[in-house]
Amino acid sequence: MRLKITGLNPLSGLVKIGGAKNAALKVMAASLLAGGSCRLMGIPKITDVNTMADVLRGLGATVDFQQDSSILIDPSGVNKLEPPEESVIKMRASIQVMGPLLARFGYVRTRQPGGCDIGPRPIDLHLKGFSALGAEIKKEHGYISAKASKLKGTEILLDVPSVGATENIMTAACLAEGITVLRNAAREPEIIDEQNFLNRLGANIKGAGTDTIKIEGVRELKATEYTIIPDRIEAATFMLAIAVAGGEALIENVIVEHQQALIAKLRETGMELIEGDNYVIVGRPVEKRLKATNIRTLPYPGFPTDVQPQFVAAMSLAEGTSEIIEGVFPLRFKYTEELTRMGAKATVDGKLAIITGVPGLHGIKLEAPDLRGGAALVLAALAGEGVTELKGLKHIDRGYEDLPGKLRLLGASIERTGIRKELQAG
């Protein structure tokens, strides 16, 4: 499967944002703590969700996808304490089941998750938190185990405000004896969402969204229903699609508060934006070129690293030179090699990329290196003269519910091609 994109079509219309990938995956993992079956709503139809469902099933839980984009998860049948190896390799977020399994069963074992195209992905801070709570950590032959008869609340300070470590420690501490105070915690909105879900189960957590989270252990948790927040990275991707292709769109189901870093930067480039209560309207007249501006990606509420590639696609066509400092994943510029082949002027030196805007790009055959880099190449192809053929669609489908289909509804000329012969024959 690949994407065929014919560029230079300005976009216009309305697009509805789906549930947040990086909230859904964590709440799915946290549902292992529930005392019964949980219904989760607003779950995006993306392959990472399917992978997380496979992880939970591999542990013995049941996961049923319902017609209405909700899923039912019943953890009562959990009889394995090791996530399936192939899922851990495929998706790093599989390790988010460690906290819940350790909390509920006192043991978890997993393969060390691999790095990926955006750089090394250590889990030392996750393990430091588990150990501080009283777990015995063992590492042998590429596997890691954590064991504890009873976790005890304590004070933990994170060296780096890691999103995953914050979430894994938060879930591990839910059933611990006493109070855990987590300092230098990550402040991402998805962590607030997970806190809200856990408190609906009966946990006692305060402070998510700030750098200090307090978790008072409880004896057991019950079941609940929960609706996931909208995906701030998908919303940002569509705002930048308009920046690149020109035109205007109303992007709805947006928590505008989550977009403040990007909105401020887009205003610096000359984009027109109207902030509604649960939508944004973005516009760029086709004949108006954006002005270059600089960004440095940081943990929330700084400029999100997951929006850096898509922003660079927009800056590759801006007037002037942009300095992009990648402050979270230093190797997250791989996609710029393909962008350069389209005619962009980008030089990368470690965590710094210098982008000199060009008046236009040309469509060519491309390969997506990873999820957000792939999204950036799709956006760039919207402004490419001629036809772009993009391979590596599996990366994009991991984190976006039908990005091509939603762009087509906005007027883009974009379609999936190369459907496997046997499927066409059928």
Residues labelled catalytic:
116
151 contacts 169 by C-beta, under 8 angstroms: no
* Binding mask of the shown chain, residues 339 to 378, with x at each position contacting ligand EPZ by CB under 6 A: --------------------------------xx------
124, 136, 225, 275: residue in contact with ligand EPZ (rule CB under 6 A): 124
Closest distance to ligand EPZ from the beta carbon of 91 (Å): 8
180, 195, 305, 310: residue in contact with ligand EPZ (rule CB under 6 A): 305
57, 109, 121, 296: residue in contact with ligand EPZ (rule CB under 6 A): 121
Q: Say whether residue 70 binds ligand EPZ (CB under 6 A).
A: no
- Based on CB atoms, which residue is closest to ligand EPZ, 21 or 406? 21
Q: Say whether residue 328 binds ligand EPZ (CB under 6 A).
A: yes
Task: Name the residue type at position 3.
Answer: L
Closest distance to ligand EPZ from the beta carbon of 306 (Å): 4
Using CB atoms, what's the residue nearest to ligand EPZ?
A: 164
Count the residues of the shown chain that bind ligand EPZ, applying the rule CB under 6 A. Answer: 25
292 contacts 358 by C-beta, under 8 angstroms: no
122, 202, 270, 302: residue in contact with ligand EPZ (rule CB under 6 A): 122
27: exposed, middle or buried (C-beta count within 10 Å: 0-12, 13-18, 19+)?
Answer: buried
Closest distance to ligand EPZ from the beta carbon of 230 (Å): 14
Cα 389 to Cα 18: distance, rounded to the nearest angstrom: 26
* Conformation bin of residue 246: beta by default, left when phi > 0, alpha when psi is -120 to 50: left
Cα 78 to Cα 29: distance, rounded to the nearest angstrom: 12
123, 239, 282, 383: residue in contact with ligand EPZ (rule CB under 6 A): 123
Neighbouring C-beta atoms of residue 268, cutoff 10 Å: 14
Which of 21-29, 97-105, 263-271, 377-385 is the region at the interface with ligand EPZ (rule: CB under 6 A)? 21-29
Q: Select from 383, 341, 335, 391 the least CA-distant residue to 364.
A: 341
- Based on CB atoms, which residue is closest to ligand EPZ, 230 or 247? 230
- Based on CB atoms, which residue is closest to ligand EPZ, 106 or 119? 119
Q: Say whether residue 201 binds ligand EPZ (CB under 6 A).
A: no
Cα 199 to Cα 263: distance, rounded to the nearest angstrom: 31
279 contacts 17 by C-beta, under 8 angstroms: no
Which positions from 371 through 410 interact with ligand EPZ, judged by CB under 6 A?
A: 371-372, 399
Q: Say whether residue 101 binds ligand EPZ (CB under 6 A).
A: no
- Based on CB atoms, which residue is closest to ligand EPZ, 68 or 124? 124
- Based on CB atoms, which residue is closest to ligand EPZ, 26 or 406? 26
Which positions from 143 through 182 interact with ligand EPZ, judged by CB under 6 A?
A: 160, 162-165
17, 25, 273, 280: residue in contact with ligand EPZ (rule CB under 6 A): 25
Closest distance to ligand EPZ from the beta carbon of 190 (Å): 6
Cα 336 to Cα 334: distance, rounded to the nearest angstrom: 5
334 contacts 370 by C-beta, under 8 angstroms: yes
- Based on CB atoms, which residue is closest to ligand EPZ, 80 or 92? 92
Q: Say whether residue 125 binds ligand EPZ (CB under 6 A).
A: yes
Residues near ligand EPZ (CB under 6 A) are 21-22, 25, 92-93, 120-126, 160, 162-165, 186, 305-306, 328-329, 371-372, 399
